[in-house]
Structure 1
Amino acid sequence: MLANSLIADGAHSSLLEGVFTAPPIEPRAEMCAYESLWLGQGAWFANIATLFRNHPGAVPSELVPSAEIDSIWSRLKGSLGDQLEDVGIRVNGAGEYPAKLRDADHPIELVYFRGDWSLVDTPCVAIVGTRSPSDEGAANAGRIAKALVREGFTVVSGLARGIDAAAHRAAISAGGRTIAVIGTPLSEVYPKENAALQAQIAEQHLVISQVPFLRYSQQHYKANSLFFPARNVTMSALTQATIIVEAGNTSGTLVQARAALNQGRKLFILESCFRDPKLTWPSKYQAQGAMRVQNVTQILEALKDETGGFDGSADKN
């Protein structure tokens, strides 16, 4: 059943006003419709993307009964309370949604955010890797992040412990910009040790999530763990390149490696990964087009060759 109307009762939350430029839609309704779609049996990014491919040009609220939208809004208010005030949304087809997200295999229709949305339009590079890095790996992540900041890039990562956190912190300490693409709803923090870092990025930079609040809250943590590799696909689509610092053979980072190559993004793998005889993936992805790099200068030169210069280098704050 397709809904023919949007919610029109009462005031909107302050965070949801004015986030769209065109067409004029009710953001609250889109948020609720997205949450409703995720409560369906077996809902996942692939079959939700298929639903929208079968209804080209539709926004979420056109695929959900209006009565269901009202019900979901009540549930969200009961679950999140005042936290709703800090949630922004962007919907495909409704202005300010980044077109580059459509390069994902299963494009998402709605993203949640906290912070400065304009950062998605800056030149972005992802730095990712293991949650248990060597001292060399953590240091490399920091050095690369600071070098990218000096050239005007926004550092993107997943706010996990290890390489991700090192990249975010280095970018901040260098006076640069950073975006965290997280594998939980905006109302959650994982790992808990990064709570202060997540709050700082949300306040001063940008945190993005594609994870539905209600679905996440009602299912087992093992099922929720699948949202983490799924967010790597979105992280790759948001950026022009991904840099892998360190990763094991079963690391979720490799999801991002595959996504970057499939999406036509640059993929850089540090030389140290090739020196580990236990790792089979570096040579595999090099054969598919990844670049083996020994230092950050090689990365910057490759990025410069792609863009014809470093866009944004004059504004690094």
Structure 2
Amino acid sequence: MQQGATFKTLAEKFASDETALPSDFVSPFEADQTATAVIESLHKSGVYHFGVRINKAGDYPARLRDAKYPVELLYYQGTWELSEMRSLAVVGSRKPSEEGIKRAARLARELVARKFAVVSGLAAGVDKAAHEAALEAGGRTIAVIGTPLGESYPKENAELQTRIAQEHLLVSQVPVLRYAAQPFQHRRYYFPERNATMSALTEGTIIVEAGETSGTLTQARAALYQGRKLFILDSCFNNPAITWPARFEKEGAIRVREPADIWKALPFE
């Protein structure tokens, strides 16, 4: 990603020329030089097997274009075909209640039983619980992370990330070289940006638990903008400390009192 560029400015640049590829905006020498540097950086991080998906080339998912500022390039490890499964995102607080952890796990098992892939962001708390429950249930899971492939955040999820990368699907939109050059405090912006991509990749998002200023609400807004289903567990509505559930319900979110409320809102043949 060029100096000073953002996902927003890049999306606007590509929107102005619908035939353009990323390589059209740099010289062949610069493109080769950058690709070599990216590969070297990933190798140093222990990533030797990975793939890329580029808009207008190969198996880039068309549904990602529903994002407000769609990414042009994704890195991935694992089985790309899992991205073609029906899927729902299960997301929420990094510091949920014990009951929130249990709810995330129950939802993941329910999704697996229905042959859905469980998608989440590999963060602590709800994300981790959803991924682990999907694995324990023998299902498929997809992690959309806010770091490059060779990095893990939080560090305690590194082993889980490696397993997903090897046996399932790990996706990152984070520019490898720019991430390495940025100060730590600037890197946090990649997490809400990946939430929009996670939403676009799925049929809908289920929010298990989230505070009034949670980054999870970025994904809620993205889901509604993209025309995806937004599901909010009933327990969120019953929390007097937050007001966002009622606000999103007015905008089209679905209150989930029981799993059947999810399935009734989704198309089945």
TM-score where L is the length of structure 2: 0.97
How far is 1:39 from its partner? 2.9
Which residue of 237, 243, 262 maps to 2:225?
262
User: Structure 2: which amino acid aligns with 1:52?
Assistant: F
Give the one of 159, 164, 185 matched to 1:196: 159
Q: Kindly report the root-mean-square deviation, in angstroms, between the aligned alpha carbons of the 2 structures.
A: 1.2
User: Is 1:93 aligned to 2:48, yes or no?
Assistant: no
Q: Higher Cα Rg: structure 1 or 2?
A: 1
- 1:200, CA displacement in angstroms? 0.6
Match of 2:173 in 1: 210
How many residue pairs align between the two structures?
268
Which amino acid is the alignment partner of residue 268 of structure 2?
G
* Counterpart-to-counterpart distance in 1, 2:58 and 2:38: 24
Asked whether 1:49 is paired with 2:20, we answer no
Cα deviations by residue, 1:164-218 (Å, 9 ceiling, x for unpaired): 0000000010010000000000010000000110001011100000001000000
Query: How far 1:297 moved relative to its partner?
Result: 2.3
Question: Who is 1:187 aligned against?
Answer: 150
Query: Which blocks of at least 5 consecutive residues in structure 2 are unaligned?
Result: none
Distance in 1 (alpha carbons) for counterparts of 2:77 and 2:246: 38
Conserved 8 A contact 2:21-2:55 = yes
C-alpha distance in 1, partners of 2:128/2:27? 41
- Conserved? CA contact 1:39–1:214, under 8 Å: no
Separation in 1 of the partners of 2:57 and 2:66? Answer: 18
The reply to whether residue 152 of structure 1 matches residue 112 of structure 2 is no
Counterpart-to-counterpart distance in 2, 1:275 and 1:205: 35
CA distance in 1, matches of 2:31, 2:197: 26
Q: Name the CA shift for 1:191/1:113 in 2 (closer, same or farther; >3 Å).
A: same
Pick which of 69-78 and 146-155 moved more: 69-78
Find the residue that maps to 1:143 and give its secondary structure. helix
Say whether residues 1:286 and 2:249 are aligned partners. yes
User: Which stretch shows the higher mean deviation, 175-184 or 70-79?
Assistant: 70-79
The CA distance in 1 between the partners of 2:39 and 2:71, in whole Å, is 23
State the distance in 2 between where 1:79 and 1:204 align.
23
Q: Do the aligned partners of residues 287 and 163 (structure 1) sit closer, same or farther apart at CA in structure 2, a change above 3 Å counting?
A: same
Shift of 1:84: 5.2
User: Where in structure 1 are there 5+ consecutive unaligned residues?
Assistant: 1-37, 310-317
Shift of 1:280: 1.1
User: TM-score, normalising length from structure 1?
Assistant: 0.82
Counterparts of 2:114 and 2:35 in 1: how far apart (Å)?
43
